[in-house]
């Protein structure tokens, strides 16, 4: 169980918000991957995607439990996952984008995991022991996610004409939501300055290099620069999140207060 | 996760008499080996009907695992807590893994996985009737874990001693991994039964719907199961349908009582003389309808599997196309078994911990070496089974021929002077 006792009172609200952002990223992406279970292009891939989802659920439980402790509202991770509506979710817009075809799912995973890998590397050095602990455990998981996704980027980019076209389209769909990953709002900069959080803007050059390298290997063009769409961290979401929550939260909504 | 003997559909292919044209000496040797509980391995001589029966049973078992992912998969995105979601996901993932182990075992009999999958999609192969029933509520997840996995355990435990080595080994792995499945299901039911009136109603309703299909999972009664006797002689089945069914009922009745749920059979009653529960008549018409593919959601199940396979075709093709461009590809011989767009077969070896040798654990399909490593990792090391992996294209393995095993191995038998125990040295002489 995470330990929130040693957090300075002045940082408590910001850290709670931060934990929710990270927990929601993992939760929503896991939820999307869950939908592939039983329907993947090959049974082996079904198991791989499930492994990714299981890792992400574990991360979500860690971050959300910590967020719940910091909020001191007598909630637990489940209350946060199943009790909030769209406006209170803090995930980035990238992870709430629909699965689409396998190429679109891989595009989402590749862009996110490549970012998350860099992010967790820094977060593992956080002066907040709980965040650092969750990050250290998650780094190995996410390194595998990034490896898995980037290899599929190359296979699909460099496979057939059809897979190349689908991979290009998948990346094109997701590219609008990339800039949000590197935004820094006052909460994040305050935490980064104290060595508690991550300066995301600083991750961009390394991320760009990694993305360019893999896309080149997959003979894929860099997606065209276009106006980015952001707002997830502030609760301004796309249409997709509401439906995802309606599905995910159904039982808790239909039977309030029940024990499962 | 489960097996159902569907042989009772009674078609000509399901009959397995001894073919009189087969070599009588070989047959006698084979029968003697099986009767002595020896294992038969892929390259060994085997009667054609043994091969066919096994092929049907193992592939049907594999299909059941894969189709069986769907009813529970229906609730993964709606699981009520994060822990329940993770548990259900891990369980359904296991089923996918078990399907893979079983396809791999069936492939050793010389039929490609894609051919088996085609047979399923075309309706030529069967899967367990239980999965053509729907999961409308969360309690169905509890009922499936408790009853369906419970029945599967009863069915599968004896198969760990099945005469066909690859099947027996797959079953050992499967039984070990499945030990949590039934417990998590029962725990869900227990929680619901102790919950709100709505939850209890949900639990009882699920039990009402799953009880009879679960006890049908053991297949038709023994007097209507034409292949049972032969299958038992061949040790590809170890106990009869009725024996297994009775065993399951006897262990399940007290479990239902313990959580205050009622089994939907008014004739269920302890019979002191038999030392077993008597139960009411089973509606075999319902069973045979489900065997014919007329279960309530059989269409949905097949539609989902066919769609997944078709939608995945471009992905599998792309990976094959990319794999062929890799420099490593030139040295990989053509995979004899591969058909269509499924990937080539690789054998997987795991080092359990440093200091031990790599050991063969099974196979995976993959389009390139890195994919093979990842698939091996995702399928065979989910429970910390290893610290190192080898993957080898199956086509690159050269195996000794069982026909030469006498020449290869028997000459070592009388060279007992190679063993230290051959030499008698007085006890008082030390360090020698």
Q: What is the DSSP string of B101-148?
A: HHHHHHHTTT--HHHHHHHHHTTSS---GGGGS---STHHHHHIIIII
CB contact under 8 A, B66 and A50: no
B147 touches chain A (CB under 8 A): no
Residue of B318, B323, B328, B346 to mutate when probing chain A, most A C-beta within 10 A:
B318
B76 contacts in chain A (CB < 8 Å): 34-35, 37
pLDDT of residue B175: 93
pLDDT in tens, A127-173: 999 999 999 999 999 999 999 999 999 999 999 999 999 999 999 99
pLDDT of residue B337: 61
Instruction: Count the Cβ atoms, other than its own, within 10 Å of residue B54.
Output: 24
Quick one: pLDDT band at residue A231, thresholds 50, 70, 90? very high
Instruction: For residue B188, give the chain A residue with the closest CA.
Output: A260
Q: What is the DSSP string of B381-427?
A: -TTS--SEEEEEEGGG-----GGGHHHHHGGGTT-GGGSGGGS---T
How far is residue A173's CA from residue B189's CA, in Å, rounded to a whole number?
42
CB contact under 8 A, B316 and A151: no
How far is residue A49's CA from residue B136's CA, in Å, rounded to a whole number?
25
- Taking phi over 0 as left and psi of -120 to 50 as alpha, with beta for the rest, B282 belongs to beta
pLDDT of residue B9: 40
Q: Residue B331 contacts by C-beta under 8 Å, 6 or more apart in sequence?
A: none
pLDDT of residue B12: 36
pLDDT in tens, A21-61: 999 999 999 999 999 999 999 999 999 999 999 999 999 99
DSSP helix/strand/coil, B362: strand
Structure tokens at B10: 């009674």
B343 contacts in chain A (CB < 8 Å): 42, 44
CB contact under 8 A, A41 and B364: no
Tokens 């991994």 correspond to B177
B359 touches chain A (CB under 8 A): no
DSSP helix/strand/coil, B350: strand
Average pLDDT of A170-177? Answer: 97
**Which residue ranges make up each domain of chain A?**
10-223+231-254
CB contact under 8 A, A255 and B198: yes
What A50-53 contacts at long range (C-beta under 8 Å, 24+ apart), as own/partner pairs, is A50/B89, A50/B90, A50/B92, A50/B93, A50/B96, A51/B93, A51/B378, A51/B382, A52/A109, A52/A145, A52/A148, A53/B89
Cβ atoms of A51 and A147 closer than 8 Å? no
3-state secondary structure B172-204: HHHHHHCHHHHHHHHHHHHHHHCCCHHHHHHHH
Question: What ipTM was estimated for this complex?
Answer: 0.97
Q: Which of B80, B93, B103 sits opposite A50 (nearest CB)?
A: B93
Distance of CA B306 to the CA centre of its chain: 21
A166 contacts in chain B (CB < 8 Å): 314
pLDDT of residue B412: 84
Q: What is the full per-residue pLDDT of chain B (432 aa) written as tens digits? A: 445 545 444 333 344 455 566 789 999 999 999 999 999 999 999 999 999 999 999 999 999 999 999 999 999 999 999 999 999 999 999 999 999 999 999 999 999 999 999 999 999 999 999 999 999 999 999 999 999 999 999 999 999 999 999 999 999 999 988 889 999 999 999 999 999 999 999 999 999 999 999 999 999 998 888 778 888 889 988 889 999 999 999 999 999 999 999 999 999 999 999 999 999 999 999 999 999 999 999 999 999 999 999 999 999 999 999 999 988 776 666 666 666 788 999 999 999 999 999 999 999 999 999 999 999 999 999 888 899 999 999 988 998 988 888 888 888 888 888 888 889 999 999 988
B387 touches chain A (CB under 8 A): no
Q: Which of B188, B343, B368 sits opposite A42 (nearest CB)?
A: B343
Q: Residue B370 contacts by C-beta under 8 Å, 6 or more apart in sequence?
A: A151
Statement: residue A83 has pLDDT above 60: yes
CA-closest candidate to residue B394, choices B333, B307, B323, B309: B333
How far is residue B155's CA from residue B158's CA, in Å, rounded to a whole number?
7
Shortest distance between the Cα of A257 and any Cα of chain B, in A, equals: 9
Beta bridge partners of B364: B346
Q: How much is the pTM?
A: 0.93
B139 touches chain A (CB under 8 A): no
B77 touches chain A (CB under 8 A): yes
Instruction: For residue A219, give the chain B residue with the closest CA.
Output: B322
Q: What is the CATH number assigned to the segment(s) A10-223+231-254?
A: 1.20.1260.10
How far is residue A205's CA from residue A50's CA, in Å, rounded to a whole number?
31
CA-closest candidate to residue A170, choices A158, A189, A156: A156
CB contact under 8 A, A78 and B81: yes
């Amino acid at each position: 169980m995470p330990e929130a006792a040693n957090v300075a009172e002045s940082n408590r609200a910001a850290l709670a918000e931060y934990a929710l952002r990270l927990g929601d990223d993992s939760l929503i992406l896991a939820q999307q991957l869950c939908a592939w279970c039983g329907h993947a292009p090959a049974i082996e891939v079904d198991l791989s995607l499930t492994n990714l989802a299981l890792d992400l659920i574990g991360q979500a439980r860690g971050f959300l439990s910590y967020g719940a402790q910091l909020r001191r509202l007598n909630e637990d991770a489940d209350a946060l996952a199943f009790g909030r509506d769209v406006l209170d979710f803090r995930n980035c817009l990238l992870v709430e984008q629909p699965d689409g075809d396998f190429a679109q799912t891989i595009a989402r995973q590749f862009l996110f995991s490549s970012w998350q890998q860099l992010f967790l590397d820094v977060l593992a050095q956080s002066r907040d022991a709980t965040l650092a602990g969750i990050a250290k455990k998650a780094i190995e998981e996410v390194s595998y996610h990034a490896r898995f996704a980037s290899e599929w980027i190359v296979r699909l980019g460099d496979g057939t004409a059809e897979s190349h076209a689908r991979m290009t389209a998948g990346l094109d769909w997701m590219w609008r939501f990339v800039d949000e990953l590197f935004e820094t709002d006052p909460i994040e900069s305050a935490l980064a300055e104290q060595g508690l959080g991550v300066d995301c803007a600083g991750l961009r050059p390394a991320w760009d290099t990694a993305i360019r390298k893999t896309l080149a290997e997959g003979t894929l063009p860099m997606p065209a620069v276009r106006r980015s769409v952001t707002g997830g961290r502030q609760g301004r979401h796309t249409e997709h999140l509401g439906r995802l929550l309606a599905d995910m939260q159904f039982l808790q909504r239909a039977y309030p207060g029940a024990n499962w | 996760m489960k097996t159902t003997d569907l042989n009772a559909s009674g078609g000509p292919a399901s009959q397995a008499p001894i073919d009189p044209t087969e070599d009588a000496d070989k047959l006698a040797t084979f029968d003697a080996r099986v009767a002595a509980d020896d294992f038969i391995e892929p390259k060994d001589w085997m009667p054609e009907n043994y091969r066919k029966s096994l092929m049907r049973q193992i592939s049907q078992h594999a299909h059941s695992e894969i189709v069986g992912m769907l009813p529970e998969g229906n609730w993964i995105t709606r699981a009520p807590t994060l822990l329940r979601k993770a548990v259900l996901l891990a369980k359904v993932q296991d089923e996918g893994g078990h399907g893979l182990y079983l396809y791999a075992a069936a492939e050793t009999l010389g039929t490609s996985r894609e051919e088996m999958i085609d047979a399923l999609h075309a309706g030529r192969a069967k899967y367990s009737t239980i999965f053509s029933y729907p999961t409308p509520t969360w309690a169905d997840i509890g009922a499936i874990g408790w009853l369906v996995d419970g029945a599967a355990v009863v069915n599968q435990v004896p198969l760990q001693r099945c005469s066909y080595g690859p099947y027996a080994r797959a079953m050992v792995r499967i039984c070990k991994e499945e030990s949590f499945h039934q417990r998590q299901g029962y725990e869900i039911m227990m929680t619901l039964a102790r919950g709100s009136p709505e939850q209890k109603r949900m639990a009882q309703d699920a039990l009402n719907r799953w009880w009879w299909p679960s006890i049908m999972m053991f297949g038709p009664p023994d007097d209507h199961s034409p292949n049972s006797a032969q299958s038992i002689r061949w040790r590809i089945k170890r106990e009869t349908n009725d024996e297994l069914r009775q065993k399951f009922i006897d262990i399940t009745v007290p479990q239902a009582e313990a959580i205050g749920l009622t089994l939907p059979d008014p004739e269920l009653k302890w019979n002191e003389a038999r030392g077993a529960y008597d139960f009411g008549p089973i509606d075999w018409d319902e069973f045979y309808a489900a065997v014919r593919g007329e279960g309530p959601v059989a269409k949905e199940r097949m539609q989902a599997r066919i769609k997944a396979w078709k939608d995945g075709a471009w992905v599998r093709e792309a990976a094959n196309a990319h794999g062929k461009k890799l420099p490593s590809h030139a040295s990989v011989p053509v995979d004899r078994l591969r058909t269509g767009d499924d990937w080539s077969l690789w054998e997987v070896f795991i080092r359990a911990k440093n200091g031990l040798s790599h050991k063969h654990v099974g196979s995976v399909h993959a389009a390139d070496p890195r994919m093979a490593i990842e698939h091996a990792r995702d399928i065979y090391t989910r429970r910390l089974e290893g610290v190192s992996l080898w993957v080898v294209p199956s086509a690159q393995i050269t195996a000794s021929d069982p026909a030469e095993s006498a020449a290869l191995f028997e000459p070592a038998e009388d060279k007992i002077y190679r063993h230290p125990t051959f030499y008698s040295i007085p006890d008082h002489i030390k360090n020698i």
